[in-house]
Copies of this chain bind each other. A is one copy, B any other.
Amino acid sequence: MLKANKKLPNEARRPGRPEGQTNLSEGILDAAEALFAEQGYAGTTLRQVAEKLGANPAMVAYYFKNKDNLFREVFTRRGHAISADRMERLATLKARRNHDLRDLVAAFIEPAASLYHDPQGRAFLRLHARLHMEPAELSFELRRLVHNESTHAYAKAFADLLPEMPVREVYQRLTLLIGAYLYAFSGTSRLDELLIEGDDDPIKGLLESTIAFGTAGMRSP
């Protein structure tokens, strides 16, 4: 996290537009992403967001109007990217014309799972998982906005590969898949803690495990 307007010694900060050009809005989104991920919507204060950048609390309102809007922008920034990535991968698979269930599961999960490597991306994954637990009015609207299209597209694609499975069952399985990968990649599972004998990185192979688990789960009669 880069501090904006780093205070040089003996150079107190004064009101007014600073010299040069600044882009505080990205920094605010990053800070808010990390804090919302860690503490949730209600548990995060705008002052915390500002403090994380060394900025004035009023700057948050200046760039994002209010807390609700800030949260929306934090979520949609990466959410739309994930959704677009999913749609792209699905199109690629369909063009190949010989994909199987495993390909579909991987295409669905990887756009989100790939964020895990970067700390800021990991914060978003936590935020994403947490969003499902936020009050419905905020949560459902955002999830609908970001995920509706790609979720239906994947459900259709799964249904095509599982012609004997009722459509409702396909959606239920997809729901289970989403719950599994969100939890596993949210960083809130107690996996590391449970694995006391942990010699290696417990996350190693997590993507592979998730795809294997999800593929078998989707396929099972």
Contacts and interface: CB of A to CB of B under 8 A. Distances in A.
A188 B179 CA distance: 10
Nearest to A129: B133
Interface stretch (A52-60, A87-95, A167-175): A167-175
A3 to B, nearest CB: 24
B205 A132 contact: no
A194 interface: yes
Contact of A133 (B169, B178, B188): B188
A40 B42 contact: yes
A135 interface: yes
A191 B172 CA distance: 7
B175 A189 contact: yes
Instruction: Indicate the size class of the contact surface on chain A.
Output: 35 or more
A175 B179 contact: no
A45 B38 CA distance: 20
Interface stretch (A5-13, A68-76, A213-221): A213-221
Contacts of A43: 40-43, 135
A155 to B, nearest CB: 7
Nearest to A39: B135
A178 B189 contact: yes
A179 B183 contact: yes
8 contacts: A132-B188, A144-B193, A168-B200, A168-B202, A171-B191, A177-B213, A183-B183, A216-B220
